Amino acid sequence: MSQMRKIFFTILIFNSLIYSQSIGFINGVDISMLYQIEENNGIYFENGIAIDPIDIFKQHGVNTIRLKIWHTPDPEFNSLQNVLQMAQRIDSIGLDIMLNFHYSDTWADPSHQTKPSAWESIDFETLADSIYDYTNHVITRLKTQGTLPKFVQIGNETDCGLLWPDGYICDESNTAEQWLNLGILYNNAISGIQDAIDEMDTVWTLGHLSHGGLWYFSNLFNEGVSLDIIGQSYYPWWHGSLDELSTNLTQLSNEFQKPIVIVETAYPFTLSWNDNTNNIIGMESQLLDGFPASEIGQLNFLQAVKDRVTNNEFGAGICYWSPEWISTETFGSPWENLALFDFNSEVLDGITVFENDNTGIDENINPEHIKLKLFPNPFNPITNIHYEIQRSGFVEIMIYNINGELVESIVKQDQHRGEHSVLWNSEGLSSGVYFYQLKLNGEVLGTKQAVLIK
């Protein structure tokens, strides 16, 4: 195993370093289109009365709102500024936020993982820096305005990786080198989150595939990537029957024993249309047997999906994708018959699936955070490494370069349990990305990125 693979292989977390809490069952909706719909005069009703759709969702048991973020979109919907505005609106009525980084200027999915235009021509080392800096900046902005997300999703439906071609791992790119690169990208994103929050903040990280996941997450976790939750999509016309869903959930839970959330699902309430935009779903052959395209069929489908999730030991929630995507006179919708509002924008019975309480994630399962920090970062040439150990023992702090080569040992001595700080003078090193790693009695407790600028 290469030195760099060893750096990322293990992250051991002590329970006493973790802010323990149950997240409850996620009753979520992704309403990333809402701002654009409202800009085009979309209005939502319940019993004929116009109501803020977020209020409607909350009144029917939704506790989490998922928002996607694009790097530099055109037009600027799903931009950071847009997300900041929506986050304030969501937080003001007491709902949790799930932030979904696409790491693209547009849609990212199993067939498209296009780099942001700002990152197109940069080398891999700079790309790794960029995903850290960008993630850190976004989370810092959200935290500063008091709307820190409870959940952060790293990539969207990353079945073949993200930030292609650097993070592509399918076909001929299913190699040790490409998995190492993908692991570095994930770990830099996670470090960007952790370095933006305080010790007692709780942020749960998710990885998200369209379906499956044994091969992907096994390889990813072998690169030392530490994700708290496994996210899956489930659209029956693409991903099969409910029994296939259950089999997939069982395989994932048995293999990884991590919480699993269906972060995207939907079902049509009709096969008719309300505008001139071609709908994605419009044929009987796309439906599940026993679940007609009707209001009750939509409700029964959602209840069946929720039952499959709750019947799994690690099932932790469901999230309906774009229930708000109605059509307006100036903005068409290919999802209009999959929304949770009818063609008169009246809320449908499918929304009641969120009203039932569920157990949620066991409170003994915790988000993984490491008390290991460097300040300042970036630095030149001196910085401090702060860390905590929970038992006395032999402590090592090692410095590695971007190639995984050991360049310096900062600490090699017995230390008592508690908080410690050590000065790192990098006078003899050149500018670049380095990794500082904490070991206790030979076990890796954490590895994080440092940026030296001279």
Angstrom distance (rounded) from CA 11 to CA 165: 27
Q: Tell me, rounded to whole angstroms, the distance of Cα 304 from its chain centroid.
A: 25
Whether residue 264 lies in the annotated active site: yes
CA distances from 306 to 29, 127, 309, 314 (A): 13, 38, 5, 13
**Which of 129, 184, 187, 223 shows the shortest CA–CA distance to 433?**
129
H helices within 228-267, ranges in order? Answer: 236-239, 242-256
Nearest-angstrom CA–CA distance, 217 and 255: 10
Which of these is catalytic: 157, 223, 324, 368?
A: 157
Is 150:96 a contact under the CB 8 Å cutoff?
A: yes
Give me Rg for the CA atoms of the chain. Answer: 23
What 3-state class would DSSP assign to 39? helix
**Which residues, 6+ apart, have CB-to-CB distance to 299 below 8 Å?**
348, 349, 350, 352, 353
Within 13 Å, how many C-alpha atoms sit on residue 184's CB side? 27
DSSP assignment letter at 78: T
Closest CA to 29 of 50, 44, 47: 44
Residue 144, phi-psi category: left (phi > 0), alpha (psi -120 to 50), beta (remainder): alpha
Q: Are 158 and 230 in contact (CB under 8 A)?
A: no
CA distance 226 to 220: 9
Q: DSSP readout, 385-445?
A: EEEEESS-EEEEEEEEETTS-EEEEEEEEEE-SEEEEEEEE-TTS-SEEEEEEEEETTEEE
> Could you say which of 264, 324, 336, 368 is catalytic?
264
Cα dihedral across residues 417, 418, 424, 430: positive or negative: positive
Distance CA 259, CA 312 (A): 10
Contact 400, 435 (CB under 8 A): yes
Asked if residue 397 lies in contact with residue 436, where contact means CB atoms within 8 angstroms, the answer is yes
Active-site amino acid positions: 157, 264
